[in-house]
Structure 1
Amino acid sequence: MTHQELLRKVEWKDLKNLSVKEMLIENNLTIPWFLLSITLAYYKYYIAALPFSAFFFLTGLRQVHNGFHNSLGTNKFLTWLSLYINSILMMVSIHAVKFNHIRHHKYCLSEEDYEGKSAGMTWYGAILYGPVHMFLIHKITLQLGNKTYKRNVFLELTSIAAFAFLAIYFQIQFLIYHIIVMIIGELLMAFFAVWTVHHDTHEHPELARTQRTGWKNKLTFSMFYHLEHHLFPAVPTIKLPELAKRIDQVLPDIEKKKTF
């Protein structure tokens, strides 16, 4: 069954719309985790801060990912602002990530898909590939992106450098902690954001892996409904559980490889 046939069989367009409550959730999900992690780090409880930093990173990924697909329910400027602020807080040019992610959907797991390179590696190979992955997504955007993408990447990288310089120059320890943890998170992206959801799917790249265990999806903020996302990328993350139910009802035999 082709992607277009799947689109026709599953009712999904109504899921693109967010209520005010859902829009507020998607745009503010990162705030409590960031405040908790920074507060604990400020008082030098670094070990206690780690899980909250991890949840901030995960919810940040969810927020920017929705931003990539214009699924935050906000206007163009507020979506851009979300990507810009998260670039600084997550220590990576989010517009560079966006450029490669959109290409990932277009050229999924082909030679043109630079984001998806680690999908064909071993799990430990994907982890070791992390620094190359982060360098490559910036390089490819600056090589292939249009003027707007290049301008945004330059602005974000400059802002990140200024943020890091000020934190280190003034020895703001809780910000230095945050920067280190975020960089570690970014270096693991080739494994967590690519390999986990795409390994062993090259025969049918559109059928990414998925996670259907309730507590696991709650723990990961629904970020591993990746089969559903690749089939219907315009659907916001908050609606993916409902989308998964509709897919199961209409296409019960569709292949569902587990994420973890």
Structure 2
Amino acid sequence: MKSTAISAHLQLTPGQRYVELARPWTLVALYSGLAVAGWWWLAVPVAVAVCLAAFVQMHDAMHNALGLSKPVNERILTLSGLLILKSGHALQVTHLRHHGRCLTEDDPEGAPATWKFSRVLWQGPWHILMLRRESLRIAPNTRRIQLLETAFTVLLLAAFVGLYLLTGSLVGLVYWGVAFLMSATMPIWASYIPHHVASRYPAARVAAAMAQIWTPVVSSFAFHHVHHHYPRVPTALLHRAAAELPPPPEELHHH
């Protein structure tokens, strides 16, 4: 199969693109409805799903893998980042550095994958703050958009507090708490585990089987090494890339 055919085959169809773009925002609406109704036992898990879906969308936007024009892709990167209370462009800087210098000393995003697990647990929550500093150092030319997105995040948090003070509603504060927990554990589920679990392991095999059913979140775990080798393939299609493209060497991306 020619490379052009491979590229076309592993791009999102218009219908798939709509699903990928709509998923986190549909979940936000669902969370809001459940939280307003006071069904917290459902709302909190949905908030976790929002953060994971936003992470996948932001990640695909980082690699321009959604098949969007550059201006639209830039907006999606900003908006999906705000869903997890982050600067999408700041995370893009350190993520692209991770791809270029994977697990080296000059790879701040991948650093937790080289630590002992105990260190990931206690230092991980502060790691995301370090990445913000590193992103400004690595790409000072994107300083304006990084700081603008940071300001938007602060305004969003202020709105959550204001909502509580004015109405007594916990909808925003609970979401903030969930997003904080997801950020604090991100070095575990987005760095340490993907770089330590090879595709031959039972957990990865189960995830690979599940990925064919639905979830891009599972795909990002099961086919992490595939993503490193074929970063322009959308997360939702990584299972197809794993089945059809030449297998990449996993040892380059595992510690």
Does TM-score exceed 0.5, indicating one fold?
yes
Deviates more, 1:104-113 or 1:22-31: 22-31
Aligned to 1:89: 83
Does the 8 Å contact 1:69/1:233 carry over to 2?
yes
Q: CA deviation at 1:125?
A: 2.3
Larger helix fraction of residues: 2
Tell me how far apart the structure 2 counterparts of residues 74 and 159 of structure 1 sit (CA, whole Å): 23
Q: CA deviation at 1:100?
A: 0.3
Aligned to 1:64: 58
Q: CA deviation at 1:170?
A: 3.3
Aligned to 1:156: 149
The answer to whether the aligner puts 1:168 opposite 2:168 as a matched pair is no
Q: Which amino acid aligns with 2:44?
A: L
Q: CA deviation at 1:244?
A: 0.9
Tell me how far apart the structure 2 counterparts of residues 233 and 170 of structure 1 sit (CA, whole Å): 40
Q: Quick one: structure 1 residues 222 and 156, their matched pair in 2 at CA, closer, same or farther if it must change by over 3 Å?
A: same
Query: Greater RCO between the two (CA within 8 Å, min separation 6)?
Result: 1
Q: Which amino acid aligns with 1:198?
A: H
How many aligned residue pairs are there?
Answer: 241
Does the 8 Å contact 2:61/2:73 carry over to 1?
yes
In the superposition, the TM-score normalised over structure 2's length comes to: 0.84
Matches within 5 A, 1:101-116: 101-116=95-110
Matches within 5 A, 1:177-256: 177-199=174-196, 211-213=204-206, 214-215=209-210, 218=214, 220-224=217-221, 225-247=223-245, 250-251=246-247
Aligned to 1:37: 31
The answer to whether the aligner puts 1:123 opposite 2:117 as a matched pair is yes
Does the 8 Å contact 1:12/1:235 carry over to 2?
no
**Tell me, what secondary structure is at the counterpart of 1:92?**
coil
Q: Quick one: structure 1 residues 157 and 195, their matched pair in 2 at CA, closer, same or farther if it must change by over 3 Å?
A: same
* Alignment gaps of 5+ in structure 2: none
In the superposition, the TM-score normalised over structure 1's length comes to: 0.83
Residue identity over aligned pairs, in percent, reads 23
Q: CA deviation at 1:114?
A: 0.2
Tell me how far apart the structure 1 counterparts of residues 124 and 179 of structure 2 sit (CA, whole Å): 13
Q: CA deviation at 1:132?
A: 2.2
Tell me how far apart the structure 2 counterparts of residues 102 and 58 of structure 1 sit (CA, whole Å): 19
Does the 8 Å contact 2:54/2:81 carry over to 1?
no
Q: Tell me the alpha carbon deviations over residues 149-193 of structure 1, each in whole angstroms, 9 at most, x when there is no partner.
A: 211110111011111112202314201111111111111111110
Does the 8 Å contact 2:91/2:131 carry over to 1?
yes
Tell me how far apart the structure 1 counterparts of residues 82 and 102 of structure 2 sit (CA, whole Å): 28
The answer to whether the aligner puts 1:25 opposite 2:22 as a matched pair is no
Q: Quick one: structure 1 residues 200 and 87, their matched pair in 2 at CA, closer, same or farther if it must change by over 3 Å?
A: closer
**Where do 4+ consecutive residues of structure 1 move more than 4 Å?**
207-210, 253-256
Tell me how far apart the structure 2 counterparts of residues 235 and 208 of structure 1 sit (CA, whole Å): 22
* Alignment gaps of 5+ in structure 1: 1-7, 202-206
